[in-house]
Amino acid sequence: MDTLEPQPPGRKRSARQDLKQQRSIRTRDQILDAAAVTFARSGYAHVTLLDIADQAGVTKGAVYFHFTNKEAIAVAVSEEYFARLAALSAGVKRLKLPPLQATVKLLNRVAVALRDDNLFQAAVRLHLDRHLIDNGLPTRPFVDFIAHCEELLTEAKRLGQLHGEASPESLARVLVASFFGAQHISWALNDRTDIVDRVQETIDAILPLHQCSGSARADNTPAHQDARA
């Protein structure tokens, strides 16, 4: 009869440590998800650590184990938002669409994420409250998002998908600013239920030629398909 060889003590400890680390990661994600719900609903100023703990179903001590204060949670929510935004961009890139179509697809998918994903909603609201957060929130990814749109629009111009006098740099700034303005008004008036249509109107006004290039309208792809990729 075969006998089982005893596991080295170090290997057992490693397995226990891995399990503990996995639980810790799950708890942190649980807290971030709860923070997204509470920040999206109430804004930064009106949310307490106890509110987040109650929403997450954990103790306040568990929240403190992962985050030093509410500000740290807000920064983490913002960083996760930009990570998901980058994932959406990567997902659109994998589709290998012509550049103007890719621009439209990206903005439509971000609109769907803002409609469906509490974390996207929380991050946008937190950036409205950034003056209340001592160390502020990261803004570089906004610059990167504009730069990504500019890159796509530059290629679109090279392919003749934009008017000859169009400036990809200016178009990218205006397009991103108008996009976030459209989502804000959709939020204020209709709780973002019409955000995809309002964003499409913005695209139609700023990039009229995209309608002649075969770009898909009103992409309602669920946010989770790319935002968590």
Look at residues 117, 96, 111 and name the one whose alpha carbon lies nearest to residue 181.
111
The arithmetic mean of pLDDT across residues 148-173, rounded, is 92
- Residue ranges of alpha helices (H) inside the chain are 9-42, 49-56, 60-66, 70-94, 99-116, 118-128, 140-158, 168-190, 195-206, 224-227
| Pair of tokens at residue 112 | 């769907």
pLDDT of res. 229: 44
Dump pLDDT digits (tens) for 182-227. Answer: 999 999 999 999 999 999 999 999 987 665 555 545 566 565 555 5
Look at residues 90, 88, 124, 94 and name the one whose alpha carbon lies nearest to residue 108.
88
44, pLDDT greater than 80:
yes
80, pLDDT greater than 50:
yes
Dump pLDDT digits (tens) for 100-130. Answer: 999 999 999 999 999 999 999 999 999 999 8
